[in-house]
Structures are given as C-alpha cells and as structure tokens.
Amino acid sequence: MVDSLRSPGVAAIGGSVVIALVPAVVAAQAGRTEPAEAIPHWLVLGLIMLGPAVIGAIGVARRSRAALVAAAGSCIPVSVLSVATMPIVVPALLFLVAARAAPPASRPTSWLAAMAAAVLAGGSLFALILNTETRCWLAFETAAGMDYRVVSEADAARPLGGPGGPVAAGCDGGEFTARGVLVAAALFGGAVAAAGAASRGRPGSA
C-alpha cells in the first residue's frame, strides 16, 4: 500500500514543482530588460504556486487521504492561469490516485480541513495576481550604464532625449504590491496549517 501511495504521490509532487516553475522562469526572463522590481515577480509567483506540492508532500509523508485530495484540489486554480500551467491536471490526477491508496480519514473534520487547505491555497494565488499595480519608469544613460528611475505615469510620458534627458521610458502593468504579497503569504501559511490539520493522526511510515 505504501508503494502504491508514494509512487504516484512523489511523481505528482515533482510534476507540480516543475509546472510551478514555468511561469516563474518566464517572468524572470522578462524582467531582465526592465528596471529591477521592488518585489521580485518571478520569485514570489514561483513560491506561491508551490502550494499543491507542499500540501501533497504533507499528504504523502503522513499517508493522509484528505491532504492528498486537498493537493489535487489546489491544482485547479493553477491550471486556469495559462496554457503553460494547464498540464498540472496530470499531477492532480496522480494526487487522487495516491489518495485512493491512503487509509480513510480518521476524523470527519479532516475533510473540512482539507477543503480549507485547497481554498486557501487557491486564494493565496489569486490574492497575489489580483493585487497589482502599474509601475512607470524613465531610463537615463550614465557612465556606469543605464539608470532606471520609477516615476509617475505623467512623468513617463515626457519627451525623450535632450541634454541629461531620459533615453527610454515605459509603464509595466501587473507589478505585485506589498499588500498582495502579505495577504498571499498569510493565506499560503493557512493552507499549509489546514493541510497539517487534515492529516493529523496519520503518521508517515517507511
């Protein structure tokens, strides 16, 4: 029973980690040609998208059917983000296969905790991507290289060139806010705690 649980469970964890890193890597590549972000988009997005993997790891370690089902459910919000993240439905199915091999939940409240874990994990992702702002900047050429300065949208529309003037300007939408990151982190922590509660009483075995 252990092998029939761990094999698909570990495969699901690995797959969800890889898929979570896809948008993070894309964001990191895109950010190389822009001013440095106050909140690294790629790092925060990658960490928050690891929710299914973290919850799944708890489920596999504790052989918890409820936590493994929660891991599968937490894959759904990730799958709707983009075409690149849709393949996470495969790890979701593997989590369900592992859940089927796990012992039944010992407490009815385990399923309530599992539901909370899936909802909170999805909420952490959407709290992050829905709390964004537009950041405008000007680029000045200096002896040390390009100097980027964050400015208002009105200042970004100023003419380019001239003595000491900016040589480039732009506005980037979708920048994460400190508030969004804090809310997402709190919800993510709640999801992990709920997954732990869902798996309570199901210690792992070798």
pTM above 0.85, yes or no: no
* 3-state SS class at 78: helix
Q: What percent of the chain has pLDDT over 90?
A: 39
Q: Half-sphere exposure (CA, 13 Å, Cβ side) for 95? A: 33
Placement of tokens 């709707």 in the chain = 80
- Residue at 177: amino acid letter: T
- 8 Å CB contact between 90 and 14: no
Q: Which of 29-33, 151-155, 183-187 has the highest mean pLDDT?
A: 183-187
Measured between alpha carbons, how far is residue 205 from residues 6, 97, 122, 186 in Å? 10, 18, 29, 30
Measured between alpha carbons, how far is residue 96 from residues 8, 12, 16, 104 in Å? 9, 9, 14, 13
Quick one: pLDDT band at residue 203, thresholds 50, 70, 90? very low
Tell me the mean pLDDT in the region 46-64. 91
Mean pLDDT, the chain, integer: 83
How confident is the model at residue 27, as a pLDDT? Answer: 64
